[in-house]
Amino acid sequence: MRIRQYPSLIRQLMKDMSQLNQKIWSDYKINIIQIQEEIFAISQMSSTFTNKENLLALAKLLASGEPVVFLTGAGLSVSSGITPYRYTSQAIWSNFVVEQGTRKTFKKDPEAWWNDFWLRTHEKQEFISAKPNPGHFAITHISKRCPNVRVVTQNIDTLHTKACLDPTRIVEVHGSLGKYKCVNQQLWKNNRLFVCPYSTHRVVLIPDLNQYALPNTSLEQGNLRVRVPRCPGCLDPLMPLTLLFDEKYQSHDGFGYARAERWFAKAKAIVFVGTSLSVNVTSEAINVGEKNGAELFNFNIMEDDTKMRGMRWILGKAEETLMELEKAVAQEMTKTGPDGKPRMRMCAWK
Ligand SMILES: [Zn+2]
């Protein structure tokens, strides 16, 4: 059996086994993670040549000014101290998160949802104060050199923004910490159907949640409990502008999904970084990319060919491989075309 088939088998095994008794599951999970680490070490040994070849091909595309979309996931933020969502011993993905992370659960008891779920698992001080790592900066630097680069991120940690990426070039497709939406999508008021604009397209910014803190609690102490923030439009409870498990990307303009779709459709290359390719936006990107003949690249720690054939892999820690890419792009851009002029071309993004 080829090494590249192991990760998908392990994922299936983990899924099956999560149904088992929790104690047995925890023991097996530790073993599986050890096996994964060994496979990673082996795959690293055989990846050096492929990395170089694929990295250079992508650097050439970027340097020539072709439209390229980076689609980044949790793997990019690991070295910034953000807990990955899946497939590691510290992952926050669990039945608890899937069960609680819904609009339906929120509506039952917004106060409990905020205090017993959201502030304990997502909007924590360690995530809010996390700093971007060299991988985020490499993407920013590449985007400054190459005006046709766009970034779609699955991460809500705002680290691309903290790394000074131009806000017009990024879509935070799963939402973002510090932004909030109204729960009220449809309600009758004075015999008229009312849809609050903050539930569909307007965003509420709350830079510091401590302003809602209950006595003797704060983000800094790690024990923050809040009174539920209210919508400025209709006074209903606010919820994070984060894609919940029973919500669609199109449910709020703040997710920017229509823009991401346009970028994917125009891209000559789509570059996946640190994503497990297991959410709808990655499937959409792969489908559109394959349909349009775009090149697909994947920066990841482990190769997995179960989902697509034409993917070009660059294996290693994202912060290291992205810095190599940045260097390769800079080198390529010093070259000129046959007419002696730089080879960069511009495209008109919408
Ligand atoms: Zn509202």
Q: Report the DSSP beta bridge partners of residue 294.
A: none
Per-residue confidence (pLDDT) for residue 86, from 0 to 100: 53
Q: Three-state SS for 228? A: coil
* Residue 222 Cα to ligand 1 middle (Å): 29
Which residues of the chain are under the pLDDT cut of 70?
1-12, 14-30, 32-33, 36-49, 84-95, 189, 304-309, 336-350
* Residue 211 Cα to ligand 1 middle (Å): 19
Half-sphere exposure of residue 45: CA atoms within 13 angstroms, side-chain side: 6
Per-residue confidence (pLDDT) for residue 8, from 0 to 100: 67
Start-to-end C-alpha separation, the chain: 45
Per-residue confidence (pLDDT) for residue 259, from 0 to 100: 97
* Residue 275 Cα to ligand 1 middle (Å): 33
Name the token pair of 8: 């998908």
Burial 111-140 (b: 16+ CB within 10 A, else e): eebbbebbbbbbbbeebbebebbbbbbbbb
pLDDT digits (tens, 9 = 90+) for 195-244: 899 999 999 999 899 999 999 999 988 899 999 999 999 999 999 999 99
Element (H, E) at 18: none
Is 174 one of the annotated active-site residues of the chain?
A: yes
**Spatial CB neighbours of 290, under 8 Å, sequence gap ≥ 6:** 296, 308, 310
**Spatial CB neighbours of 214, under 8 Å, sequence gap ≥ 6:** 225, 226, 227
* Whether the predicted model's global pTM rises above the 0.85 cut: no
Burial 298-325 (b: 16+ CB within 10 A, else e): bbbbbbbeeeeeebbbbbbbbbebbbbb
**Spatial CB neighbours of 18, under 8 Å, sequence gap ≥ 6:** 25, 95
* Residue 220 Cα to ligand 1 middle (Å): 29
72 vs 228: CA distance, rounded Å: 31
Catalytic one among 122, 141, 160, 174?
Answer: 174
Per-residue confidence (pLDDT) for residue 92, from 0 to 100: 55
Q: Is the dihedral of CA 96, 182, 252, 210 positive or negative?
A: negative
Per-residue confidence (pLDDT) for residue 341, from 0 to 100: 65
Q: Is the dihedral of CA 294, 295, 296, 297 positive or negative?
A: negative
* Residue 325 Cα to ligand 1 middle (Å): 44
Question: With left for phi above 0 and alpha for psi between -120 and 50, is residue 102 left, alpha or beta?
Answer: beta
* Residue 39 Cα to ligand 1 middle (Å): 49
